[in-house]
Copies of this chain bind each other. A is one copy, B any other.
Amino acid sequence: MADLTDPQALAWASYQRMRVRLSGVLGRELAAATGLSEADFEVLVAVNERPDESVRSLALRCGLEWEKSRLSHQLRRMEQRGLITREACEEDSRGSAVRLTPRGRELACEARKHYDAAVKRYVMDSLTPEQVAALAEISDTLLDRIEITHR
């Protein structure tokens, strides 16, 4: 139960700083290019990537790993701005289904392009393939660790 070592503390500090700054610039560029928040973006992409034209809230929630109230609030805001519509769900009258408006679908594609380009520009073009692989492995390792202790 010792403290963090110096390299560990420095690594953590760098990671934290990077995490905040990176998500800051990505979010800002996305908003500047499309007017979407990252939350908007996640929802639009998740719905758009489905083959069917309408998706159950439940499926969306599982895919995004969001809490139900978070999704509900987010969908309300997106509906007000004309990005999606909501309709009743036939298989389960408790449920609801989400559909993209034309504008929503268009923005989803637009945003995807901008966002991927920004990830490439800020991240992938700066790292070697080995570093990208290392980042993936580190992330998967930590995810496993979290999964294990929270199950």
26 contacts between A and B (CB under 8 A): A1-B117, A4-B119, A4-B120, A7-B129, A7-B136, A8-B120, A8-B132, A11-B135, A11-B136, A12-B119, A14-B140, A15-B135, A17-B139, A18-B140, A21-B143, A21-B146, A22-B146, A122-B142, A122-B149, A126-B141, A126-B144, A131-B134, A131-B141, A134-B135, A134-B138, A135-B138
A116 interface residue, CB < 8 Å from B? yes
B7 touches A133 (CB 8 A): yes
The smallest C-beta distance from A70 to any residue of chain B, in angstroms, reads: 12
CB-defined contacts of A20 to chain B, threshold 8 Å = 65
A116 touches B17 (CB 8 A): no
A14 touches B131 (CB 8 A): no
For A121, the closest partner residue in chain B by CB is B149
Number of chain A residues whose Cβ lies closer than 8 Å to a Cβ of chain B: 48
B132 touches A7 (CB 8 A): yes
The complex is assembled from copies of this chain, and their number is 2
A137 interface residue, CB < 8 Å from B? yes
For A10, the closest partner residue in chain B by CB is B136
The smallest C-beta distance from A69 to any residue of chain B, in angstroms, reads: 15
The 10 closest A-B pairs by CB, nearest first: A11-B136, A14-B139, A18-B139, A126-B145, A134-B134, A15-B139, A11-B132, A14-B136, A8-B124, A18-B142
